[in-house]
Structures are given as C-alpha cells and as structure tokens.
Amino acid sequence: MTGARPIEPLAFDDGDLQEIRRSVAALCARFPGEYWREKDRERAYPAEFVGALTQAGFLSVLIPEEFGGSGLGLSAAAAIMEEIHKNGCNGAACHAQMYIMGTILRHGSQSQKTQWLPKIASGALRLQAFGVTEPTSGTDTLSLQTTAVRQGDHYIVNGQKVWTSRAEHSDLMLLLARTTPRDKVRKRTEGLSVFLVDMRDVVGGTLTIKPIRTMINHATTEVFFDDMKVPAENLIGEEDRGLKYVLDGMNAERALIGAECIGDARWFIEKAVAYASERQVFNRPIGRNQGIQFPIAQCYAATEAAALMVERAVELFDAGKPSGAEANMAKLLAAEASWKAADMCLQTHGGFGFAEEYDIERKFRETRLYGIAPISTNLILSYIGEHVLGLPRSY
Ligand SMILES: Cc1cc2nc3c(=O)[nH]c(=O)nc-3n(C[C@H](O)[C@H](O)[C@H](O)COP(=O)(O)OP(=O)(O)OC[C@H]3O[C@@H](n4cnc5c(N)ncnc54)[C@H](O)[C@@H]3O)c2cc1C
C-alpha cells in the first residue's frame, strides 16, 4: 500500500500461518483479474482455481492427519480464506467444504470418516454442496418441508431445496431433511436429520439440479428430490438431531465468512489507497482531498476492528470455548466493513470503478452477498439481541 504501514494479517498468526498465507498468496497470483472476469462473464465455475487449492492441500486443513488432511485449526482455515479474498480471488467456489466438514468431523462415525474423509482430502471427492434453505421456509429452518422416510436400509427423500450452491460441482451434499413430522417431536428443535448424499448415484434420476442465474458468479441451484434413496448408513449422528449438528458448525461458518469479508475489505482499501494516491484531478492526487481520504481511513478502522472480532471468535472456537456471540458479531461487523469498503472503493474510483477491468464492480457485487447469506444481518442481530442480551424473543 502506498505511503502506509502494510496491513497486518490477523494477529493470531504464528509462523506456520504466515507460511500458509504466503503460499496462498503465491497460488492466487496465478489467478489474476482476467481469470475471474472471464469466469464471471461466462458464469463459469473456477474449477482450475478450486483444483489448485485442493492439490495444495488448503481445502483439507481441517481434516485430521490420520484421514489425509493437515489437522489444523479454524485459525488456518480463516487465514486461507482471508488471504484468498485479500488477493482478489473468491473462495465462495469452495468455502463450503470448510464449513460442512465440521459436521462430519464432530458427529460422523469412525467408519463414515474412514470412508469419506481421505477421498475428500485428496480431492477424489468434492464436498461442496449444503442443502438447507428451501423456497417456502427461508430463514425459518424448522419449517423446512423436505422429508426423509426410513424404509429398510434406506431413507427415501422427497422435496426441494433452493440456493444449493455448487451442487453441479460437488460429488457429495450435506442434506438437512425432516425425519419426524413437526407435530410428533418432543422438542421443537428435533425431527430434522443430516445425511451425506452421494449425488453421483442419483443426479439426473431422482435428483434434479437446476442452475439459478444470479448477480454474482456463484454456481447456485435449485435441487429437487423425487423418491431419492439414501443409504441409512449415510445418516450423520442420530436421527432427528440434525439441526443441533448443523448449528454446531455455524460458529465456524460465521467466523470463516468474517475472514473472507476481512480479505475483501483489505483488497478494497488497498485498491482505494493506490488509486487515491496516483489519480490526479485539479493538479493533485484525489487522496489529498479529505472527502476521499476520510472514508478510506474510516473503512480501515472499521476493518481492523472487525478483524479483531474475527480473530477472537476463531481463538475461542479453536480453544473449544463457547464462541456464538463472538462468531456472530464477527460475521456482522466484517460483512458491514467489507460492504462499506466496497462502496468507498467504487466512489474513490469514480467512473472507472464501473469498468470491468478494474475488478471493483465484480468484487462489489460479490461482497454484497455476505449481508444476506449464509445468514442475513437481521438474523444475526436477533441472535445478539435475544441469545446474548436476553431480550424477548421475536420468533
Ligand atoms: C448466492 C446465494 C448462495 C446461497 N447458498 C446457499 C447454500 O449453499 N445452501 C443453503 O442452504 N442456502 C444457501 N443460500 C440461502 C441463504 O442462506 C438464504 O438466502 C438466507 O439464509 C436468507 O434466507 P431467505 O433468502 O429465504 O430470506 P428470508 O428468510 O425470506 O428473509 C428475507 C428477509 O427478511 C428478513 N427476516 C426474516 N425473518 C426475520 C425476522 N424474524 N426478523 C427480522 N428480519 C427477518 C431477513 O433478514 C431477510 O433480510 C444462498 C443464498 C444466496 C443468495
């Protein structure tokens, strides 16, 4: 960055993470703006980028060494995701593997881990699809309608999911479906189960995938289950306890999304500083005008504060301590910081911010997602209000 102290990586980094960051940055340098622009234009999946990350072992850092991964903590995963975004790339093509992994690691049986994890670690199997959201239930996960009914040694799945991202580029899907009707459960949070679906067996038959074209290149889809058979051995953990397993992984997901947002924010700030320093209007750099300089400084301060919260959430998670409040605040603050930085960066670049070749309009669209998915800002505020501050529940 011109004329400024270089942006520090998250402070929890030790030597190993610095090395990981350097390697990720080197890998990202092979995938410059033109690569992402072309993919964006074609709405094409960045298979080469995901392949390179897989080959380098970055997507399997959370898998224990005995199953072929590197057995590192969330801090390593967060450093990788942040670095990808800080270098102008987009981890959304493959971040789900990191989020989904926890459900199998924490709640899968030994035989499931032995069967699946080594192949996921080597890249022989892609675990990128997470089927939770449905068109009618939205954020209200307990209202989901997809059912899985046990018949002998199988479950028969019927229903529909929406926004199931990367389904076309994944072999496996982690699926949340109802196994006990809502009016028959003892506790309202019970009755949902998690399955690891091997989509290779069913796609084009009892599983139909339909792409949804969106404002970003996200490979998202609708999926339809029509009497889809899932072997009972693919049930993760106990039947009816799936929501708990999925929620268990949410803190990691929130912190990792936070890290991606910090990466985006730092990318925007770096671009803005460089442009504000070199662009001459009225015979002086535009960055000399405080109308340009102060928003950049404001975004820098907000990003660094949010990064501390991400760091805190990751530390607590890795120490096995409760991290719900911090993970939610990290996601909230980091998503706000990246969106503000995106807007500031566009404004700093004036008309040129709209030109595709600057990559700003693309990153601007991409980072907007994190105010909505995987969880919207309102629902995070509701978590903080009700679960952290003890305010009356709204739903
Ligand atoms: C590009 C993209 C990729 C996605 N990928 C996946 C994926 O891979 N897997 C998956 O399962 N899902 C995925 N999603 C879905 C995403 O998680 C949901 O869009 C998100 O959780 C919000 O749900 P919804 O869109 O149904 O909004 P709704 O639940 O319909 O909510 C609409 C708006 O109302 C607000 N709202 C709702 N209830 C309340 C309340 N009680 N109080 C205050 N405000 C409220 C919400 O905050 C939101 O702003 C993806 C979405 C997108 C756009």
Check whether residue 299 and residue 327 sit in a common domain.
Answer: yes
Name the pLDDT band for 100 (thresholds 50, 70, 90).
Answer: confident
CATH number at residue 340: 1.20.140.10
The verdict on whether 253 is a catalytic residue reads: yes
Q: Among the options 253, 315, 326, 336, which is catalytic?
A: 253
Q: Is residue 8, in this structure, part of any structural domain at all?
A: no
The confidence score (pLDDT) of residue 13 equals 55
Check whether residue 275 and residue 380 sit in a common domain.
Answer: yes
Check whether residue 92 and residue 105 sit in a common domain.
Answer: yes
Check whether residue 300 and residue 315 sit in a common domain.
Answer: yes
The confidence score (pLDDT) of residue 99 equals 83
Q: Is residue 300, in this structure, part of any structural domain at all?
A: yes
Q: Is residue 2, in this structure, part of any structural domain at all?
A: no
Q: Is residue 5, in this structure, part of any structural domain at all?
A: no
Check whether residue 328 and residue 361 sit in a common domain.
Answer: yes
CATH number at residue 204: 2.40.110.10
Angle at 36 between CA 311 and CA 331, to 5 degrees: 25
CB 353 within 8 A of CB 379: no
Residues framing ligand 1 (Cβ under 6 A): 130-133, 138-139, 163-165, 214, 218, 220, 369, 372-376, 378-379, 382, 394-395
Write down the pTM of the prediction: 0.95
Question: Pick from 77, 107, 126: which residue ends a domain?
Answer: 126
The confidence score (pLDDT) of residue 14 equals 65
Query: Counting beta carbons within 10 angstroms of the beta carbon of residue 21, is it exposed (0 to 12), middle (13 to 18) or buried (19 or more)?
Result: buried
Question: Pick from 217, 243, 269: which residue ends a domain?
Answer: 243
CA of 133 to the centre of ligand 1 (A): 8
The confidence score (pLDDT) of residue 11 equals 42
Provide the number of structural domains found in the chain: 3
Domain assignment of residue 102, given as a range: 15-126
Residues 6+ apart with CB under 8 A from 8: none
| Beta partners for residue 161, in sequence order | 223
Q: Please give the structure tokens belonging to residue 22.
A: 């350097």
Q: Is residue 221, in this structure, part of any structural domain at all?
A: yes
Q: Please give the structure tokens belonging to residue 32.
A: 């410059």
Question: Pick from 203, 224, 243: which residue ends a domain?
Answer: 243
Name the pLDDT band for 7 (thresholds 50, 70, 90).
Answer: very low
Residue with tokens 């890795």: 318
The confidence score (pLDDT) of residue 244 equals 94
- pLDDT of residue 2 exceeding 50, the answer is no
Atom of ligand 1 nearest to the CA of 218: 1
Neighbours of 18 (CB within 10 A): 12
CATH number at residue 22: 1.10.540.10
